[in-house]
Amino acid sequence: MPRKCIVASGVLMENGKVLLIKHRLLGVYIYPGGHVEPSETPTEAVIREFEEETGLRVEPIGHIHGVRDKDVVERPLPLLILEELVRYPDEVHVHFDLIYLVRRVGGVQTEGYWVDVDDVDKIETYPNVRWVIKIAHDTIYRLRKV
Protein backbone atom coordinates (compact mmCIF):
# COMPACT_ATOMS: atom_id res chain seq x y z
CA MET A 1 0.00 0.00 0.00
CA PRO A 2 1.47 3.41 -0.96
CA ARG A 3 2.49 5.86 1.73
CA LYS A 4 -0.02 8.72 2.09
CA CYS A 5 1.48 12.20 2.57
CA ILE A 6 0.23 15.74 2.96
CA VAL A 7 2.22 18.11 0.78
CA ALA A 8 2.00 21.83 0.11
CA SER A 9 2.95 23.56 -3.13
CA GLY A 10 3.09 27.14 -4.31
CA VAL A 11 2.39 28.69 -7.70
CA LEU A 12 4.18 32.01 -8.18
CA MET A 13 3.13 34.01 -11.23
CA GLU A 14 4.75 37.25 -12.32
CA ASN A 15 4.33 39.05 -15.64
CA GLY A 16 2.61 36.10 -17.32
CA LYS A 17 5.31 33.63 -16.24
CA VAL A 18 5.37 30.88 -13.62
CA LEU A 19 8.39 29.85 -11.56
CA LEU A 20 9.13 26.13 -11.84
CA ILE A 21 11.84 23.83 -10.58
CA LYS A 22 13.16 20.63 -12.10
CA HIS A 23 12.38 17.90 -9.58
CA ARG A 24 15.58 16.02 -8.75
CA LEU A 25 13.94 12.57 -8.48
CA LEU A 26 11.14 12.83 -11.01
CA GLY A 27 13.11 14.74 -13.68
CA VAL A 28 10.19 16.98 -14.67
CA TYR A 29 9.29 20.63 -14.13
CA ILE A 30 6.87 21.36 -11.28
CA TYR A 31 5.98 24.27 -9.00
CA PRO A 32 7.94 24.30 -5.71
CA GLY A 33 6.59 22.35 -2.77
CA GLY A 34 7.00 19.28 -0.63
CA HIS A 35 6.00 17.24 2.38
CA VAL A 36 4.43 18.93 5.39
CA GLU A 37 6.62 18.14 8.40
CA PRO A 38 4.93 16.94 11.63
CA SER A 39 5.68 20.23 13.41
CA GLU A 40 4.34 22.59 10.73
CA THR A 41 1.14 23.73 9.05
CA PRO A 42 0.64 23.46 5.28
CA THR A 43 1.14 27.24 4.91
CA GLU A 44 4.41 27.02 6.86
CA ALA A 45 5.48 24.10 4.66
CA VAL A 46 4.86 25.94 1.38
CA ILE A 47 6.85 28.95 2.67
CA ARG A 48 9.76 26.72 3.79
CA GLU A 49 9.79 24.52 0.69
CA PHE A 50 9.60 27.49 -1.67
CA GLU A 51 12.59 29.17 -0.03
CA GLU A 52 14.60 25.92 0.09
CA GLU A 53 13.95 25.21 -3.58
CA THR A 54 14.20 28.71 -5.10
CA GLY A 55 15.74 31.10 -2.57
CA LEU A 56 12.59 33.23 -2.62
CA ARG A 57 10.41 33.98 0.38
CA VAL A 58 6.71 33.85 -0.41
CA GLU A 59 3.39 34.09 1.38
CA PRO A 60 0.29 32.11 0.48
CA ILE A 61 -2.65 34.13 -0.80
CA GLY A 62 -6.21 32.92 -0.90
CA HIS A 63 -9.73 33.60 0.22
CA ILE A 64 -10.29 34.39 3.89
CA HIS A 65 -13.84 34.19 5.27
CA GLY A 66 -13.11 36.26 8.38
CA VAL A 67 -13.53 33.56 11.02
CA ARG A 68 -12.46 35.01 14.37
CA ASP A 69 -12.16 33.19 17.68
CA LYS A 70 -9.57 33.29 20.44
CA ASP A 71 -8.59 29.66 19.75
CA VAL A 72 -8.95 29.64 15.96
CA VAL A 73 -6.62 30.91 13.24
CA GLU A 74 -8.05 31.10 9.74
CA ARG A 75 -5.55 30.41 6.93
CA PRO A 76 -5.82 31.27 3.23
CA LEU A 77 -7.68 28.68 1.20
CA PRO A 78 -5.59 26.70 -1.27
CA LEU A 79 -6.27 27.23 -4.95
CA LEU A 80 -6.75 23.46 -5.29
CA ILE A 81 -6.35 20.26 -3.33
CA LEU A 82 -5.32 17.30 -5.48
CA GLU A 83 -4.86 13.64 -4.61
CA GLU A 84 -1.89 12.56 -6.72
CA LEU A 85 -0.27 9.18 -7.26
CA VAL A 86 3.46 9.97 -7.40
CA ARG A 87 5.84 7.35 -8.77
CA TYR A 88 9.31 7.95 -7.36
CA PRO A 89 12.12 5.72 -8.67
CA ASP A 90 12.07 3.51 -5.54
CA GLU A 91 8.53 3.87 -4.20
CA VAL A 92 5.04 5.19 -4.81
CA HIS A 93 3.32 7.83 -2.67
CA VAL A 94 -0.18 9.22 -2.59
CA HIS A 95 0.13 12.98 -2.13
CA PHE A 96 -2.70 15.11 -0.81
CA ASP A 97 -1.36 18.32 -2.36
CA LEU A 98 -2.59 21.65 -1.03
CA ILE A 99 -1.67 24.00 -3.88
CA TYR A 100 -1.52 27.68 -2.96
CA LEU A 101 -1.20 30.80 -5.00
CA VAL A 102 1.76 32.65 -3.52
CA ARG A 103 3.31 36.10 -3.83
CA ARG A 104 6.94 37.04 -3.46
CA VAL A 105 7.85 38.86 -0.24
CA GLY A 106 11.66 38.66 -0.31
CA GLY A 107 14.73 36.59 -0.91
CA VAL A 108 16.96 36.21 -3.93
CA GLN A 109 16.24 33.59 -6.57
CA THR A 110 18.98 30.95 -6.60
CA GLU A 111 17.14 28.14 -8.40
CA GLY A 112 14.22 27.71 -10.75
CA TYR A 113 13.10 28.59 -14.25
CA TRP A 114 10.56 31.18 -15.35
CA VAL A 115 8.25 29.73 -17.98
CA ASP A 116 5.74 31.75 -19.99
CA VAL A 117 2.24 30.45 -19.28
CA ASP A 118 1.68 30.15 -23.04
CA ASP A 119 4.60 27.69 -23.18
CA VAL A 120 3.57 25.26 -20.41
CA ASP A 121 2.38 22.73 -22.98
CA LYS A 122 5.95 22.56 -24.33
CA ILE A 123 7.73 21.65 -21.08
CA GLU A 124 8.37 18.21 -19.64
CA THR A 125 5.83 17.89 -16.83
CA TYR A 126 2.60 16.17 -15.83
CA PRO A 127 -0.81 17.08 -17.26
CA ASN A 128 -2.09 18.10 -13.81
CA VAL A 129 0.79 20.58 -13.44
CA ARG A 130 -0.22 22.20 -16.75
CA TRP A 131 -3.85 22.39 -15.60
CA VAL A 132 -2.90 23.93 -12.25
CA ILE A 133 -0.72 26.57 -13.93
CA LYS A 134 -3.54 27.52 -16.30
CA ILE A 135 -6.08 27.62 -13.45
CA ALA A 136 -3.69 29.76 -11.39
CA HIS A 137 -3.14 32.15 -14.29
CA ASP A 138 -6.88 32.45 -14.96
CA THR A 139 -7.55 33.00 -11.24
CA ILE A 140 -4.92 35.73 -10.94
CA TYR A 141 -6.10 37.41 -14.12
CA ARG A 142 -9.70 37.32 -12.90
CA LEU A 143 -8.67 38.74 -9.50
CA ARG A 144 -6.89 41.66 -11.14
CA LYS A 145 -9.99 42.55 -13.18
CA VAL A 146 -12.19 42.73 -10.08
Report pTM: 0.92
Note the CATH number of domain 3-144.
3.90.79.10
What residue type is assigned to position 41 of the chain? T
Which residues lie closer than 8 Å to 137 by C-beta, 6 or more apart?
A: 13, 16, 18, 117
Beta bridge partner(s), residue 99: 9, 80
- pLDDT at 145 (0 to 100): 57
- pLDDT at 127 (0 to 100): 95
The chain-wide mean pLDDT, for the chain, equals 94
Per-domain residue ranges for the chain? 3-144
Distance CA 9, CA 18 (A): 13
Q: How many CA atoms lie within 13 A of 2 on its CB side?
A: 16
User: Around Cβ 85, how many Cβ atoms within 10 Å?
Assistant: 9
Q: How many CA atoms lie within 13 A of 14 on its CB side?
A: 11
- pLDDT at 68 (0 to 100): 86
What residue type is assigned to position 47 of the chain? I
The values of phi and psi at residue 24, to 5°, are -70, -30
